[in-house]
Structure 1
Amino acid sequence: MTVFTSHSPVTGEPVGEHPVHGPEEIGAAVDRAHAAARRWAACGWAGRRARLRTWKRSLARRMDEFAELISAETGKPVHDARAEVLLTVVHLDWAARNARRVLRRRRVPSGLLALHQRALLDRRPLGVVGVIGPWNYPLYTPMGSIGYALAAGNAVVFKPSELTAGVGELLSASFAQAVPDHPTLLQAVTGHGPAGEALARSGVDMVAFTGAPGTARKVAAVCAERLTPLLAECGGKDAVLVDASADLDAAADAIVWGAMANAGQTCAGVERVYAVASVHADLCERIVHRARALRPGADPEACYGPLTLPGQLATVERHTKEALAGGAHAAHGGPESIRPPYAHPIVLADVPEDSPAMREETFGPTVAVNAVRDLDEGVAHANAGSYALGAAVFTGSRRTGLALAARLNSGAVSVNSVLGFAAIPALPFGGSADSGHGRIHGPDGLRAFTAPQSVTIRRFRPPVDLTSFATSRRSAARTINLGRRLHT
């Protein structure tokens, strides 16, 4: 079998070798998953919960093993990778514990017209979910689909990014080791783009994809061939609004972390800031002060690592140069901050709104800080782009913060923090437009991997049965007229 090699983005040295799975191997994995899904369904809510929590405890015990591999394949510091594993464990635990409560069969009102029927709503697992994962958070992000899909009663075939194939293989192996009676419930298949295409075309019952909008459109086209449902999370260009009443130190601290953590390679990370003019200069100074203290590197004391995808350095450089050419000024850093494989922090100010740095996802340790007349203008700019994933608001008034959150198009908004929703498993996560569609996490994330089934049970013979030819026209007409009067 053909193999490919994953490499360290820091040194370029090989990290591991992985098979290039073709359509036949991927189809066989999906066939095994269909059989595994039937056995998994037979476990019932309690059996699935117990097994998933056993797996959760195993992941927690193996945190350092996972973190070391995540660090090796992505370049991020081990302490960041350990935090990623922790978030993964927290979400898996919530999904396992809450699946029955959210998805169990429930009675719904029948209404006067169908009083003789008992109405039940059931939610059934889809069967096999194909998950196509990213490289920036190679464990936490795909597990937002994998963990919730498993808790909902499905089997999963996981195609990790070719940059982080080892993490995907370790994840699949860890499940088989923790839950040995279901060894094919979670399987990893590896390869490049064609492997993802083959998975989408393989007969899975749903595809959950995380990646760039352009790739999502290609996956959607393949899914359309079989009308396979697609859940897509496609990144963002997240904005932060800063009011004059805000705690500027807290805002600057959160903005720098949101923009620079993980080398800026966070789909819901901070890329744009709109501060009211009266505090813009002060906020910029505080942001620059904190950005100057950051140092990328490969050692344990580094604040963040390299850009995992080498080609992303060119995007960061292009966005920076075009912003400066358009009239922006560099409050800190600039094109010279690109020193492969690292990008040092870049803070831009007064960036033209039509610049790529304000319209396209940069996905690097940069942030643009612009002044606005008022928060109304800030909301207008924040909503003007094609992405709608996350956002944040900093203000001295919670009421103002909630009012602004309601006006933002983003799927998730944090008030006086950034990315506050990431660590709360009960909250759904996802966006719209170029940020994709559908939700992971929370009750909505569990429901996303099920199909509703409506069930009615006839309780007694109604006085007038509108579903029988034996009912006289006169009786039926009288009943229908009575119903009309009730609704006019």
Structure 2
Amino acid sequence: MAAPRPVAGPVALPVVHSWIANRPVEGRAGQRPAVNPATGAAFARVSLLDAAQAGSALAAARAAFPAWRAAPFRARARVLLEAREVVVQRAEEIARLVEQEQGKPAAEAHLVEVFPALEALKHLAVHAEELLKDEPVEAQVVLFAHKDCRLRYEPYGVVLVVTPWNYPFGVSLCGVAAALAAGNTVVLKPAPATAVVGLRIAEVFRAAGIPDGVLSVLSIDDALAPALVEDARLDKIVFTGSPATGRKVMASAAKNLTPVVLELGGKDPAVVCRDADLDRAARGIVWGAFVNAGQTCASVERVYVEEEVAEPFLARVVEETRKLRVGDPAAGEVEMGPLTLERQRTIVEEHVADAVAKGARVLTGGAARTGPGWFYPPTVLAGVDHTMRVMRCCPSCRCRRWRRRSGWPTTPSTA
């Protein structure tokens, strides 16, 4: 009788750490799983920094600022161009990591994450010095007519960059690169849901030869984030995310009068007029609506169509939408992966249910499939009005709404 085979134990997941002053630092505040949204399973764990460790990143950035500020533009440009070369060499690896942690297919990650990052690095390296040079200013006040006036750009100091989960590589790297090009030191806090992608940016710049302390990338518990934003050692905050969180960031930053840049969500409409090329409009709007599974601040979230072309246009949109292949990007060729977070799918479901209860018609999609992952089908609703949450709230979802207009630009009637 053959001896029984030993039962394999659970596979230990790799643990990823924050980067402070070009060194990985194991967090002392526990760990958080990194989850693949296509399967719902963890593929890694991320250690979380405690308050003292996060504070050490700010101290490192403060200490590194004088030398980085004094560095000539060509020295900063050299780091950006080296980072660009690292991204080129690791492009497929980065795209696959985005696919695994955020959910968009790798081909799409190349298009909307990697390529924009490469363009930003090159643009900043080539043009930052010209963009930030002194500008002569003509005096507008008689008392200053004899003065030599100019507008001079100076770096702020330590910049906190807080970035979202929907474009975890492209948005994060572009924000970091812009601050670095201007002579600031940077602390990046990526979104918890896509922390592994964000931490990879530290590795890119370390390989590019960035000096110690100029860039740190932190993974922290959500409860620690307000204290980080309120830290008096910050000279500027750049936040990309939801309006609700943006309000909290602004309120916290106000305690120290820390200047902020907020790039928040939107509710972007498209308008289709009677003389539009309907085939082209349908293809463009479907792409603009469902790229990144609709999780884009500038995606097409609602469409207003003139009455006389509404029906043929809707038919084309439904046809194009039904062509989209949805599934696990790692399992085969798909155009659309899952939503990044389970709570995002819940929001989508609530918005669709609210619209249907108030009279909207589901032309395609409209119900989540069973099985693992946070999938929701691309959905088209008609017969909507502005009493519905789906027409007023930004869910970062893959559900698009259509209203017809009777005689543009008069008051719209419901389709």
The runs of at least 4 consecutive aligned structure 1 residues that moved more than 6 Å come to 378-381
2:406 maps to a residue whose letter is: R
Q: TM-score if structure 1 supplies the norm length?
A: 0.75
2:163 aligned with 1:133: yes
Find out whether 1:341 has 2:371 as its counterpart: no
Q: Match of 1:364?
A: 397
Residue 318 of structure 2 is aligned to residue 288 of structure 1: yes
Matches of 2:305 and 2:239 in 1, distance apart? Answer: 34
Following superposition of structure 1 onto structure 2, how do residues 146-295 of structure 1 map, counting pairs within 5 Å?
146-180=176-210, 182-202=211-231, 203-295=233-325
The CA deviation at 1:232 is: 1.1
In the alignment, the residues of structure 2 paired with residue 72 and residue 337 of structure 1 have an alpha-carbon distance, to the nearest angstrom, of 20
Partner of 1:33: 61
2:100 counterpart (43, 47, 72)? 72
Cα distance change, pair 313–321 in 1 and its aligned pair in 2 (3 A): same
State the 1:283 CA deviation: 0.7
Secondary structure of the corresponding residue to residue 130 of structure 1: strand
1:175 and 1:316 mapped to 2: Cα distance? 37
Contact kept, 8 Å, 1:56 with 1:93, in 2: the verdict is: yes
Q: 2:386 is matched by which residue type in structure 1?
A: E
Find the counterpart in structure 1 of residue 115 from structure 2: 86
Counting aligned pairs with the same residue, the percent is: 35
Cα distance between partner residues in 2 of 1:35 and 1:378: 59
C-alpha distance in 2 between matches for 1:191 and 1:161: 10
Paired AA for residue 308 in structure 1: T
1:300 is displaced (CA, Å) by: 3.5
Structure-2 change in CA distance of 1:97 and 1:300 (3 Å): farther
Counterpart-to-counterpart distance in 1, 2:411 and 2:120: 33
- Report whether the alignment pairs 1:10 with 2:42: no
Contact 1:274–1:369, Cα closer than 8 Å, also in 2: yes
Distance 2:106 2:332 in 1: 7
Distance 1:134 1:378 in 2: 36
Matched, 1:322 2:354: yes
Question: Which string of whole-angstrom CA distances, capped at 9 and with x for unpartnered residues, describes residues 49-82 of structure 1?
Answer: 1221111121122111211111111121111112
For 1:10 and 1:295, locate their aligned partners in 2 and report how far apart those are by CA, in whole Å: 14
1:351 has 2:379 as partner: no
Q: CA deviation at 1:380?
A: 12
Residue type of the alignment partner of 1:342: F
User: Residue in 2 aligned with 1:436?
Assistant: none
SS at match of 1:376: coil
Q: Distance in 1 between matches of 2:50 and 2:246?
A: 20
Structure 1, gaps ≥5 residues long: 382-488
Q: C-alpha separation between the residues in 2 aligned to 1:224 and 1:134?
A: 22
What letter corresponds to residue 372 of structure 1 in structure 2?
Answer: R
The verdict on how the C-alpha distance between 1:316 and 1:337 changes in structure 2, with shifts beyond 3 A counting, is farther
Which string of whole-angstrom CA distances, capped at 9 and with x for unpartnered residues, describes residues 272-295 of structure 1?
A: 000110111111000000011112
Unaligned runs of 5+ in 2: 1-27
Q: Which residue of 2 aligns with 1:96?
A: 125
Instruction: Let me know the Cα RMSD of the aligned residues.
Output: 1.9
Alpha carbons 2:368, 2:375 under 8 Å: kept? no
Distance 1:38 1:379 in 2: 58
Residue range with higher mean Cα deviation, 57-66 or 264-273: 57-66
Inter-partner Cα distance in structure 1 for 2:347 and 2:279: 30
Larger Cα-atom Rg: 1
Task: Give CA deviations for 1:110-146 in whole Å, capped at 9, x if unaligned.
Answer: 3554333211211100001101111111011223321
Provide the residue aligned with 2:150 in structure 1: 120
Q: Which residue of 2 aligns with 1:45?
A: 73
Specify the alignment match of 2:175 in structure 1. 145
Q: Confirm or deny: 8 A CA contact 2:180 2:186 kept in the other structure.
A: yes
SS at match of 1:270: coil
Q: Distance in 2 between matches of 1:106 and 1:266?
A: 36
Note the alpha carbon deviations across 1:332-381, whole angstroms, 9 max, x for none: 12235687521111100120211001001122211101101244348999
Number of aligned pairs? 380
In structure 1, distance between residues paired with 2:220 and 2:228: 11
Pick one of 302, 325, 334 that aligns with 1:302: 334
